[in-house]
Structure 1
């Protein structure tokens, strides 16, 4: 990119010369039981390390929201209107708008994904100030079409989905979110097999639920050299939430000697992943 008075400006391919947001790292490892709130532009995460029988945020919701069961020891009962379902082990529940309640039945962790325009939620985020003004490079959320059969409580146990090397992870989508349960990685990642890449207009939220990771993130230069940053090579534990802004170049590497697992979250859902046929519940949540 070039300044407007530079003759080479006509050759530029990136017309957005606004500042690039800084990556954010929120590491909750070792904090014990509790709930921690953090957000990206369009999605708020409420990460809870619960006790058995603990109730999470019963109340009225304007929009759908999502519950992630992130460990094999996670278990929850969800009541939504007249519906009630239970899930044990890793998986995902889509909870319809209206009155609902989540009750933990195990000691594994639970994560709620809530739209940031859901009344009363965005201000809870520990990084709410980072989004006092919308980030101009991030596409705002326009919800995808209504689900087939209308809004209802939907349950997706991960145990029902075998791993397939032809498919990238195990991906589910809703009207507002896309969630990818990436395969666990045993031991550190091979340094000869990293995958640096960037996204033009959406954030990637990397949720570490087991082990440790190093996030390598490079911020491209704009014409304003005062906004340039050194490369990041930040090690995080689990649980942790890392928000990777566009169009930074990034790759993440498992770093602990044992079990490491990431869950990637996007809002709005990714059209490119959807086009590959990788979304497991695509028939229930159609594309625009």
Structure 2
């Protein structure tokens, strides 16, 4: 772990805080940033519109069960079913809600207009020098276009509790776990940390505890106590680099978890068959590149 103090985590519980945007139609949007990305979650009604005038790069849209929408770009229009992920190409785009519900957008830090509106913008006033930068991976096969993925076909209702559903784009990666109906075994948790990237955990159903432990450094004044707060949903947490973490759902009923990484994780992308849409997104040419390894392969950067 680093000798520097890890930054504070950002936790946003949307139903207990003011939205950062409310438009004329009453659409509320909560905006939380990390060092390399923004998570914008909107509560919509039918006809609500979420527009990006000219987004610089790809972004992702998550529709949970029960929410449906239509997305239009300069070249395409696609009806988005619920319980789905959509990768949106660079340029203009408009999402129009067809039902009431939540829509989550994950956009890189190139979206400076959203960075400035994030409720936790001050957390990154010094930038994020501890993180690997977003170096876009190769363009997708067939060029940039709308890519819509219904998630139900990748969940086995009779399968294991933990069912990863991993997708990536040129600039980010998301793990949309199949929804849980049983609670996690507290004798089989997975505390770990990431050396040079953050993890956002978006939770839209149930109640969650994100167990966090900050590393100690030489300055006692920098030390932080462990955190085991129980938080409601919908919510998102930005887990800083070097912070030991593991998450578990508590209480009764259905729960959901979406883990977000930006840039994509090379260790996950390097496992054949692990990323569902890997055939659409080529791997970077690692010849002459350097990798960062501390227990696991963490990130890819172009050589200096």
With normalisation by structure 1, the TM-score equals 0.89
Alignment partner of 1:22 is 2:8? yes
**Partners in 2 of 1:82 and 1:135 — Cα distance?**
35
Tell me, yes or no, if the aligned pair for 2:51 and 2:92 is still in contact at 8 Å: no
Tell me, yes or no, if the aligned pair for 1:219 and 1:231 is still in contact at 8 Å: yes
Tell me, yes or no, if the aligned pair for 2:269 and 2:275 is still in contact at 8 Å: yes
String of CA shifts for 1:133-162, please: whole Å, max 9, x gaps. 122322121111111111111111112324
- Which of the residues 94, 101, 107 maps onto 2:100? 107
Alignment partner of 1:131 is 2:124? yes
- Which of the residues 239, 242, 246 maps onto 1:244? 239
- Which of the residues 35, 38, 51 maps onto 2:32? 38
Distance apart, 1:274 and its partner CA = 1.2
**Partners in 2 of 1:269 and 1:165 — Cα distance?**
25
With normalisation by structure 2, the TM-score equals 0.85
Tell me, yes or no, if the aligned pair for 1:197 and 1:249 is still in contact at 8 Å: yes
Distance apart, 1:168 and its partner CA = 5.2
* Secondary structure at 1:183 match in 2: coil
Tell me, yes or no, if the aligned pair for 2:42 and 2:104 is still in contact at 8 Å: yes
**Partners in 2 of 1:241 and 1:249 — Cα distance?**
17
* Secondary structure at 1:57 match in 2: strand
Alignment partner of 1:47 is 2:41? yes
**Partners in 2 of 1:107 and 1:166 — Cα distance?**
29
* Secondary structure at 2:15 match in 1: coil
Q: Indicate the residue corresponding to 1:158 in structure 2.
A: 151
Q: Indicate the residue corresponding to 1:5 in structure 2.
A: none
Q: Indicate the residue corresponding to 1:10 in structure 2.
A: none
Tell me, yes or no, if the aligned pair for 1:187 and 1:255 is still in contact at 8 Å: no
Q: Indicate the residue corresponding to 1:204 in structure 2.
A: 199
Structure 1 segments of 4 or more deviating over 6 A?
none
Point out where structure 2 has 5 or more consecutive residues left out of the alignment: 20-26, 285-304
**Partners in 2 of 1:107 and 1:22 — Cα distance?**
34
Q: Indicate the residue corresponding to 2:283 in structure 1.
A: 287
Q: Indicate the residue corresponding to 1:4 in structure 2.
A: none
Distance apart, 1:165 and its partner CA = 5.2
Q: Indicate the residue corresponding to 2:54 in structure 1.
A: 60
Point out where structure 1 has 5 or more consecutive residues left out of the alignment: 1-13
Q: Indicate the residue corresponding to 2:270 in structure 1.
A: 275
RMSD over equivalenced CA pairs, Å: 1.9
Alignment partner of 1:143 is 2:136? yes
- Which of the residues 239, 242, 261 maps onto 2:256? 261
